[in-house]
């Protein structure tokens, strides 16, 4: 890639498959991250640094690493992406996942930090309209931002998604910059922005959440 004149590469930080657990490591014993996997990340960053290529890690599609450390925290609400954006525990788990990654690099080889172009929260930001809590047709839902939303009202359901995503991104940006003050926090969106069957999408709003 370097010989071809490329200067940036995006890589997925995997961890959502039993077949290839990646950063999730062993389901029962791994805590925030699997250190052998992170050793591979460091090696990749060293190689990219030598070839003057910036790296943009992408944390999948918003899921948590598939291990008990994360999954047990949100299991009672169902393991779906909505939980990681809409609930306090889900947002806290996502913050831990992303900041543990950047903290590991900073603690082990801080000189590699400038090789990171930024940290991308997700590949394609969306919530699922056919999963909890949107499967509920009435009642109040208290989101991670502390506000209650009436699920019987369409505008409240849309506000739940929009405002929760803004809160989610604010929490991640603040946490990332507490570790590495110059690090960019980025998000991925569908192109072109719009609706997808079975999904609620944030459209252009998320594209602005780069800090």
195-209 confidence digits (pLDDT tens):
555 555 544 333 333
**Residue-range definition of the domain harbouring residue 62:** 8-125+169-207
Q: What is the pLDDT of residue 209?
A: 39
Residues 144 and 168 sit within 8 Å (Cβ to Cβ): yes
CATH code of 84's domain: 3.20.20.80
Query: Each residue's pLDDT tens digit in the chain (211 positions)?
Result: 989 999 999 999 998 888 889 999 999 999 889 999 999 999 999 999 999 999 999 997 668 899 999 988 887 766 688 999 999 999 999 999 999 999 999 999 999 999 999 999 998 888 988 999 999 999 999 999 999 999 999 999 999 999 999 999 999 999 999 999 999 999 988 765 555 555 555 443 333 334 4
Q: Are 87 and 77 in contact (CB under 8 A)?
A: yes
* Residue 145 belongs to some domain of the structure: no
| Residue-averaged pLDDT of the chain | 88
* Crossing angle for the helix pair 88-108 and 35-50, to the nearest 10 degrees: 60
Question: Which residue has 């790296």 as its token pair?
Answer: 55
Is 100 contained in some domain?
yes
Say if pTM beats, i.e. exceeds, 0.85: yes
132 located within any domain: no
Residue 182 domain flag? yes
pLDDT at position 19 is 86
Residue 87 within a domain: yes
Establish if 52 belongs to a structural domain: yes
pLDDT of amino acid 17: 85
The reply to whether 133 falls in a domain is: no
Residue 152: in which H helix or E strand, if any?
Answer: none
111 found inside a domain = yes
Split into its structural domains, the chain has a count of 1
Cβ atoms within 10 Å, residue 1: 11
């Amino acid at each position: 890639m370097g010989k071809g004149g490329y200067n940036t590469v995006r890589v997925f930080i995997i961890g959502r498959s039993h077949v290839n657990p990646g950063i999730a490591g062993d389901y029962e014993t791994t805590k925030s991250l699997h250190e052998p996997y992170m050793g591979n990340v460091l090696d990749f960053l060293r190689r990219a640094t030598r070839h003057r290529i910036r790296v943009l890690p992408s944390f999948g599609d918003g899921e948590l690493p598939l291990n008990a450390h994360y999954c047990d925290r949100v299991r009672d609400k169902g393991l779906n992406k909505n939980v990681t954006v809409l609930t306090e525990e889900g947002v806290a788990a996502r913050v831990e996942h992303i900041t543990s990654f950047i903290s590991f690099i900073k603690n082990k080889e801080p000189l590699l930090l400038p090789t990171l172009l930024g940290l991308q929260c997700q590949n394609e930001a969306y919530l699922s309209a056919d999963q909890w809590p949107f499967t509920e047709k009435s009642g109040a839902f208290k989101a991670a931002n502390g506000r209650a939303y009436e699920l019987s009202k369409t505008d409240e359901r849309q506000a739940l998604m929009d405002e929760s995503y803004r809160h989610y991104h604010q929490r991640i940006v603040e946490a990332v910059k507490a570790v590495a003050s110059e690090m960019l926090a980025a998000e991925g969106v569908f192109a072109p922005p719009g609706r997808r069957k079975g999904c609620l999408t944030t459209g252009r709003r998320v594209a602005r959440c780069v800090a």
